[in-house]
Each structure stands twice: as C-alpha cells, then as structure tokens.
Amino acid sequence: MRPTTRFTAILATAMFLGAPQPAYADGSHTCFWGDLGAQDESGYEITANACDGTGYADVTVTVYGGEAKGTHRCRIAFPWNGTLAAQGCAPSSP
C-alpha cells in the first residue's frame, strides 16, 4: 500500500470514528386512556388513545386513565392520529 493511500485510509477512519452522533429526539406525550402490553427485558409496552405530543425516542408519556395510568419514560414512541404505541417503558422517576 502506498503511503498516500495508507494516509487516506487512516484519515477516513479517523473522520468516521469522530463523526457526531445522530440526532436524539426527546419529547413528551399526554394521553387520556392507556393500556399496558407485553413486558420484556427492555421494559413494557403502552398503547394509548386521545394523545397529544411530540417526540419519537426517549419520551415521557403521561396517561390519565386506564391500566397505564401514570407517568412513564419510554425508549420508543410512535404517535398516529391521536393514538400512541410506545415500547421500552418504565415508571418515570419523580
């Protein structure tokens, strides 16, 4: 390998490893009614209705009624037409 090719490869690797991390969305959702779903090692699932809010990753979900009543911190949330599906949830610390 020629010295200039080796230098280019090292420079490209250094630039890749030093690149900034992707954007991280932090948000919150408020829902009128929600249910708890399956639980695994990453947390439990929430499905909720009559929701409003923003954010898709590392979000706070507050549910006013139903089995999921309370405040939760969820790794992933997918809002759609007033409904919410969230995964990797745990009770939010006060």
User: 76: closest CA among 55, 94, 93?
Assistant: 55
Q: What is the pTM of this model?
A: 0.71
Six token digits for residue 63: 């549910």
What tens digit of pLDDT does each residue of 27-79 get?
999 999 999 999 999 999 999 999 999 999 999 999 999 999 999 999 999 99
Give φ, ψ of 65 to 5 degrees. -150, 165
